[in-house]
Amino acid sequence: MLKHKVFLLFCVLFSLSSTAYAEQITGSLMSRQRFIEKQLKEGVYTSEEALLYNYLAIKKPEKLPGELAFLPNEKRLSATEIFLQVFQGLKQKRFSPQLEAFFLEDVDERPNSAGYVDSDKYPLRVHWTNEAYKNLAVSALDFAEYAWETETNMGFNAPLTDDGAGGNNSIDIYIGTDAAGAAGYTRPVAWNLDTDISDCYTYIVIAADSSNALKTTVAHELNHAMQAAHDCLEPSSIWENTATYVMDKVYPDIGDYIYYFPYYQSYPHYPYDYFEEGSLYQYGGMLEVAFLEEYYGNNDGKLIAAVWRGLEQTIHDYADNHPNYIESITSAIAKKKPGSTFEDFLTGFTEWRYFIGENDDGKHFSRAGKWLYCNYSRGSCEVEIDNYVTLSQANPNISGSNLEAMGRMSSSYVEIDLPKNIAADMFVKLEAGESRWGAKLFCNNNSKTKPAIVPLTMDEALQSGEAIVHLGEYDQCVLAVTNLGPANYSPSGANAGLKYKYAYQIGLLSNDLPDPEPFSLSANLFECSGGQTLTISGINFFLGMQVTINGAAATIKNSSSVEVTVITPNISTSGFYEVALSTADGDKVVFKDKVLYNGDTCSCECNISNTCDENCSCDPECLLCTCDVDTACSANCLCDPECITVDKEPSQGCNCSATSQEHNLIEFIVFLALSMLVCAYFKLRSRHID
């Protein structure tokens, strides 16, 4: 009895210490899957260890290490991605010999069957693993038959039958086995060597506690089995967002797909094909498929089925996944809307995912107005805004950059509150470096019935762009930025880092703006070839303000309300030239001092430090010479020491007519005459006194 009490006490203490350990590590009790992902990101687990632990959580939880044994599983729709990663990794030789041997030993270890029911319509067998789940299995068969008919009518391949692995030549579904928090999973078990495509055999497991969502879970997992009949090499994210869209098309009245939207819409800066075990992001990605279907197709599932048919490739090339989903989507949309590109698809999706819930304008997703409240924990279905800015006459210029670094093929949004009742244009400029980019402006008023959608005009490299929009009745605009990803990107399913940044400048172009007042220049001497930096300081500078030198436009590098930096233009000849800033009403303000263009790149170089050299002092194109007061001018341009600058017209010679000697003689005669007058004055005065 005493031993029994001691044992119970030990168990209680172990449980308390384990819970305390979990809270110490994570701050709160998180799921196994999220804890594994956290350890992976922090470098505590390798990718092999993370995959192994996620696999063990489903198949052999008793073998998990101590820090994972007491953590709960993440509630999620499917665990197919774990088995897909194992299956693909085995074929592509991504694992160590020890891990490969472990996975191969367990590759087709199916759940035990306590009984089954067969379909008389399709090669379908549904097993129950416990007599308590027999009725659940019978219901699942009805749902599976309906899903089979609906999904194959869309154009998906029927699942591959397994040649008797489950007792007969059918696709097997097992009801009642625990799926580590998932409602179910589809497990690929073998490649089909009888075809020329990379299809594979599968079986399906549906958890007993998924009974409340049995219809959609069966439709979801059966679609995975159909995807496997097309291509088992595609990344997990594409499997999940397709199956989530399809389950809604099979059972549209249930609508549990909407639960996943906030987990997707909260992270628009994540990559298009981002995947994270334990996350619900990839299920919310069904919005990507919904956009594909509604904008390019008929929203009947047939276009996404065509994409999957386009993914089929030869089985002998497991390492090189072509055609990939980018290529297949591009081909599919070009058939629907000739000339469409994948870049069009990405920028279009950035637009459509914004007009959801309270942002609905009636012109995008057909059900967008119903997507107001998605689930109890996340709430809103609207996309997350990266930054909020306010434009006004007091603050007519705004510059900034995205707060959340972006992945490739992702979205970002800057919401701009506008001044009321102002007749003005707004100028927006986007600057980005690495990757390729696209951007649009959405402008609207409170009624949200007449949005203006203005694409930014991008440069050839797709790294900078600008647009001007007349504000008129609008009181809000949104800058929607799309990272298009690098050219010729080939997806592998790996999650690229969140590293991409862009910069934006937003400003008012209005006749009501005060004129700019330049105070100082950072330099006043430039080469005629241009390309040098000039910074002008002052006040009342505005976005869209132009800077010219001698009428030639300088390139704006960056600007604010008190400073603008430009790249000087090319001017062929030496000279002093005016610097001018444009005003909002089309006039210009000229800086008080001119700048000098002079140097080796000028067509006529004047030596301004000592004498005018003989090559340019009398050249018709040389409009000025500056002579040092202590040095005589060259023989070609005679001037005395007081002749500092010689200006001449192209048709004239130098207009200093006197030599230095002549000037000295005149000065002597004048001095002598004045001296004589002074002497005569004092002589007469002395006589008067006497």
Taking only the tens place, the pLDDT of each residue in 657-680 is: 444 444 455 555 666 666 666 566
Q: For residue range 410-457, what is the model confidence (pLDDT) as tens digits?
A: 999 999 998 877 777 889 999 998 899 999 999 987 665 567 899 999
CB 277 within 8 A of CB 33: yes
CA distance linking residue 261 with residue 258, whole number of Å = 5
Closest CA to 258 of 293, 213, 300: 213
Q: What HEC string does 113-181 produce?
A: CCEEEECCCCCEEEEECCHHHHHHHHHHHHHHHHHHHHHHHHCCCCCCCCCCCCCCCCEEEEECCCCCC
Q: Say if residues 81 and 275 touch (Cβ distance below 8 Å).
A: yes
Q: What is the rounded CA–CA span in Å between residue 346 and residue 241?
A: 16
User: In which residue ranges of the chain is pLDDT below 70?
Assistant: 1-29, 210-211, 315-319, 375-379, 446-450, 492-496, 510-512, 604-690
Question: Nearest Cα to 88, choosing from 419, 441, 493?
Answer: 493
- Return the ∠ at Cα 469 (arms to 465 and 471), rounded to 5°: 145
Distance of CA 417 to the CA centre of its chain: 22
C-alpha to C-alpha distance for 295 and 337, rounded to whole angstroms: 10
Interacting residues of 384 by C-beta distance below 8 A, sequence separation 6+ = 265, 266, 267, 268, 413
Name 99's bridge partners.
Answer: none
Residues 482, 485, 489: CA angle, nearest 5 degrees? 150
Which one, of 548, 555, 623, 626, lies nearest residue 591 by Cα?
Answer: 548
For 127, 130, 134, 169, 175, the CA distances from 114, given in Å and listed in that order, are: 7, 6, 9, 18, 10
- Side by side, the strands of the sheet bearing 517-521 are 517-521, 533-539, 563-567, 555-559
Q: How far apart are CA 146 and CA 32, in angstroms?
A: 35
pLDDT given at position 257: 85
pTM: 0.73
pLDDT by residue (tens digit) across 212-240?
789 999 999 999 999 999 999 898 999 99
Residues 312 and 324: their CA atoms lie apart, in Å, by: 9
Closest CA to 445 of 370, 361, 362: 361
**CA end-to-end span of the chain, whole Å?**
151
Nearest CA to 352 among 293, 402, 430? 293
Query: Which residues, listed in sequence order, are joined to residue 478 by a DSSP beta bridge?
Result: 415, 442
Closest CA to 359 of 385, 378, 390: 385
Report pLDDT for 558: 78
Residue 579 contacts residue 594 (beta carbons within 8 Å)? yes
Please list, in sequence order, all residues whose beta carbon lies within 8 angstroms of the beta carbon of residue 511, skipping any fewer than 6 positions away: 423, 424, 584, 585
72 by DSSP, 3-state: which? coil
Nearest to 138 by CA among 123, 122, 118: 118
Which among 464, 460, 442, 459 has a CA at the least distance from the CA of 451? 442
Residue type, position 623, single letter? L
Structure tokens at 9: 């006490």
CA–CA separation, 87 and 90 (whole Å): 5
| DSSP string computed for 89-102 | HHHTT-S-HHHHHH
Q: What is the CA radius of gyration of the chain?
A: 39
Q: Could you tell me if 405 and 500 are in contact, meaning their C-beta atoms sit under 8 angstroms apart?
A: yes
Under DSSP, is residue 124 helix (H, G, I), strand (E, B) or coil? strand
Which stretches of 264-382 are assigned E, i.e. beta strand?
373-375, 379-380
Cβ atoms of residues 381 and 265 within 8 Å: yes
Place of tokens 């992001």: 281
| Amino acid letter, 202 | T
